[in-house]
Amino acid sequence: AQKVTQAQTEISVVEKEDVTLDCVYETRDTTYYLFWYKQPPSGELVFLIRRNSFDEQNEISGRYSWNFQKSTSSFNFTITASQVVDSAVYFCALSEYSSGTYKYIFGTGTRLKVLA
Amino acid sequence: EPEVTQTPSHQVTQMGQEVILRCVPISNHLYFYWYRQILGQKVEFLVSFYNNEISEKSEIFDDQFSVERPDGSNFTLKIRSTKLEDSAMYFCASTRDRDSPLHFGNGTRLTVT
């Protein structure tokens, strides 16, 4: 069965520290997508990144970077020089293809608290 | 940038009452979804909808739940007889095609008393 594990329930860092959020997944599909979403205190889900299973190139977007390693089934997310506005719950998700469409399997989320 | 719009943002209802949650997906999107997040927990898939019919539904989506796209722009989730455990944030999502990321609405917080 498809599964996404975010072992870190909550992380607290001081502003300007770097922080890495871990995500480990399980799937039998050969083609799949991985995602990160941010859920700020206001509750909405904000799309951050999508990764195709065939693209293991790491990606950097400003202070955000993602490390996808198929060999360890991990898709980790690093925030460099964290800011208070980064405080949120971050969800990793895996797409599962069935019945002609994709649905997402979400991890349980990691709550990040960035302290001033 | 186009958005998925959900109304209301917060709905309070009494146990046993029917409730309809409304969503307006992005206009050129073809695949529609409802997800649920019980407070403090993970986001769970409820149902997917394409070509005017349900593509897949989860175990949560029992006979008390139904979805409809009545007029080509709205996508609704109906709960016929609400229970206390239906209290959650309900997210609508849509996508243009199966390979594109889902765009989520801001959610409707349903409180059943």
- For residue A23, what are its two tokens? 């995500």
Closest-approach residue (CA) in chain A for B104: A45
Check the CA dihedral A43-A21-B99-B44 and report its sign.
Answer: negative
Instruction: Please report the residues numbered 40 through 59 in chain A whose beta carbons come closer than 8 angstroms to any beta carbon of chain B.
Output: 42-45, 47, 50
Q: What is the pLDDT of residues B65-107, one digit of tens each?
A: 999 998 888 999 999 999 999 999 999 999 998 778 889 999 9
- What's the average model confidence in pLDDT over B48-72? 93
Specify the pLDDT at position A111: 97
What is the DSSP annotation of chain A? --EEE---SEEEEETT--EEE--EEE---SS-EEEEEEE-TT---EEEEEEETT----EEETTEEEEEEGGGTEEEEEESS--GGG-EEEEEEEEEEETTEEEEEE---EEEEEE-
pLDDT of A101 reads: 72
Pairs of CB atoms within 8 A across A/B: 57
Is the pLDDT confidence value at B6 over 90? yes
The answer to whether residue B3 neighbours chain A at the CB level (below 8 Å) is no
Taking only the tens place, the pLDDT of each residue in A42-57 is 899 999 999 988 888 8
**Contact assignment for B42 to A101 by CB distance below 8 Å:** no
pLDDT value at residue B10: 96
> What's the CA gap between B32 and B4, in Å, rounded?
10
Kindly report, residue by residue over A50-103, the tens digit of the pLDDT: 998 888 888 888 999 999 999 999 999 999 999 999 999 999 999 887 777 778
